[in-house]
Chain A
Amino acid sequence: MQELDILLAVAIVVVASLSSLTNLFVIRRFWQIPQTPNPATRGGDQENEEGNEEDEDETEGETDQAPSKEAILARRAQLVHELEEERGSRVLTLIHRKEPWSTGDDEPEIGFEDSEQILQWVRETPPDKPIDFIVHTEGGLTFAADLISMALRYHKAKVTVMVPFYAMSDGTYVVLAADEIMMEKCSILAPLEPLIDDMPANSVISILKRKPIETISDRTILLAESARMEEENAKEFVKWLLIDHMNEEQATQVANFLVGGFMASTTPITLDVARAIGLNVVEGVPEKVHQLFETIEFTGGPRGEKQYQ
């Protein structure tokens, strides 16, 4: 009888400890579920933690469960919102990049869709609210870029353009419209020489002096004429963009330097060069902007026209 009692007591103790262990285990497991890198439920703090991890880890995670388009867009919207709070500004973006959901031949570049959208955004921004404009583009339609830069130039409050990586060809117009430019040490801008039929304007013009005119085709002569006009137009536009920030002489010089065709169209205009020609450049782009770019997948096919091969 006593033995049985002991047996029963032992059994109850075992049961109790078993179930408590199970409970403990269950609680621990459930505790971890929200912390797993499930992109759909990602909160701001967890992303910060992730941001500190190695990139390799992140890419590994992505291969297992790629975040959905909605999750990525939500994350971006959140980061933009946080950046707005941090800087007390309106944040606009012109980011051209292949997205996981973009189809094969999509080569994003500046187009009228961009300019219309951005013009509306700028219009909706109160005149006394500063604008932070994040640019990441290889250029595109000059006319659309001109429209965007005009809108930024006319904005009353301070306009800061941030270039975390590059703003090439027509993207550089947008940068010049800024009151302040934020770049990284390795970010680049590009010369603004117009392209005529895929050839730099100044080179097209120079053929008139290099080749006997009777041997030049009619078409080339016409191209040279339009190149001259385009170049003049671009120079005047650059001058107008800069005139508030420097005197006329300097603005003319900068316009000449960027448009005049003294360098190859692939010459990088680095932070140091931009500063040397008198643009108001600040080194460093806010951390949040870099976090924004971590939501963009940097893979995809090769692109670009000039190659070392």
Chain B
Amino acid sequence: MDDAELFLGLGLLAIAAINSGALLYALHKINPPSAKQGSEDEEEEENESSEEADEADEESEAETSAPTEFKRPTTKAGILAWRQRIIEDLEKERGTRVLTMIHKKELWTEPGQDSEIGIEDTETILQKMRKIPPDTPVDFIIHTPGGYALAAEMMAMAIKFHPSKVTVMVPFYAMSGGSLMTLAAGEIRMEKYSVLGPVDPQIPTPDGMYPAGSIATLVKTKPIQNITDRMVIMSDVANLEIENAKAFVMWLLEGKMDKEQAERVADFLARGYMSHATPITLDVARAIGLNVVEGIPDKVYELFKTFTFTGQPYRRH
């Protein structure tokens, strides 16, 4: 009798244990851990190792282990989470919202796919800009070889229209269309060695891409009857494009300097006096009257570590 009762008690206990174990296992199967909301702390620790680089949930844990033995995430989701964490830190540090337009090779970039400013960037940035409260300052990290002019112009407009201060950070380079966007900023942060570039339009012709300034001078250097019809027509287009670029730069600089100076800067950057790859360094940018501050926060460099620095080089500009 005594033994029986003891057995009964132990039996019940065992059944309950097995039961809950089985249920837990079944749940684990049904509902993969990535979908969980982070409410069960114990569970989380158990699963941590299996899905290290999965979701934003694990960010906090990864952070604590980062300084000692940090493992570079190798999945897209992992890299994006890592990047997101750095951006959030930077936002906290500076009390701003951080936007990025970084055109670099990613692990998931397909071969031959050059990243440059496209209308997709514009749509993304405009959508993000819309959600930023008007009184929140914005830090915009730009790293780009340039690209589609209209797309860059739209983003520059968004920067100019933001009611609070917009700081554009150029840790390495922001050429052509990217430079146009920096001109819209209230403050430009650069390093001694980072560069901007001229913003003169490039005109596509059947023989390739030519700077608008060069096409415009062609008709002055060669008798017009000896120039091909297409080039004569394109020279007209080139003049219009230069006018447009200059007017746009002047509009961007409105309120940042007096009109006369803005016109000189616009002429300097958009007329095509210099090669499209000419570096406009910090000193030059400062000399022409842009509001440049030297120095980039360390977190930005940390952000760049999330990108691979290998892969095919970009084509020459």
Contacts and interface: CB of A to CB of B under 8 A. Distances in A.
A203 B236 contact: yes
Contact of B161 (A12, A185, A267): A185
Interface stretch (B110-118, B164-172, B281-289, B302-310): B110-118
A185 B157 contact: yes
Nearest to B54: A64
A267 B244 contact: yes
Interface stretch (A39-47, A52-60, A234-242): A52-60
Contact of A186 (B146, B161, B241): B161
A18 B6 contact: no
A306 B15 CA distance: 73
A215 interface: yes
Interface string B186-226: 00000000000001011110000100000000010000111
Interface stretch (A70-78, A82-90, A205-213, A251-259): A205-213
B27 to A, nearest CB: 5
A141 interface: no
Interface string A14-41: 1100110110011011001101111000
A263 interface: yes
Interface stretch (A1-9, A114-122, A143-151, A170-178): A1-9
B77 A63 contact: yes
Interface stretch (B64-72, B80-88, B254-262): B80-88
A18 B157 contact: no
B119 A290 contact: no
A186 B157 contact: yes
Interface string B289-317: 00000000000000000000000000001
B263 interface: no
B240 A264 contact: yes
A28 B2 CA distance: 39
A159 interface: no
The CB with the most chain A CB atoms within 10 A, among B123, B146, B219, B276, is that of: B123
B300 to A, nearest CB: 16
A186 B145 contact: no
Interface string B108-146: 000001111111111110111111000000000000011
A14 B84 CA distance: 45
A211 B177 contact: no
Given A63-B80, A199-B234, A264-B244, A303 B148 contact: yes
B44 to A, nearest CB: 13
Contacts of B237: 199-200, 203, 264-265
Interface stretch (A125-133, A274-282, A293-301): A293-301
Given A11-B13, A302-B147, A138 B119 contact: yes
B37 A35 contact: yes
Contact of A55 (B24, B127, B199): B127
A108 to B, nearest CB: 12
A308 B180 contact: yes
A25 B31 CA distance: 13
Interface of B: 2, 5-6, 8-10, 12-13, 15-17, 19-20, 23-24, 27, 30-31, 34-37, 39-40, 54-56, 76-77, 80-81, 83-84, 87, 113-124, 126-131, 145-154, 157-158, 161, 175-177, 180, 199, 201-204, 209, 219, 224-227, 229-230, 232-234, 236-237, 240-241, 243-244, 248, 276, 317
5 contacts: A25-B40, A98-B120, A211-B232, A304-B147, A308-B201
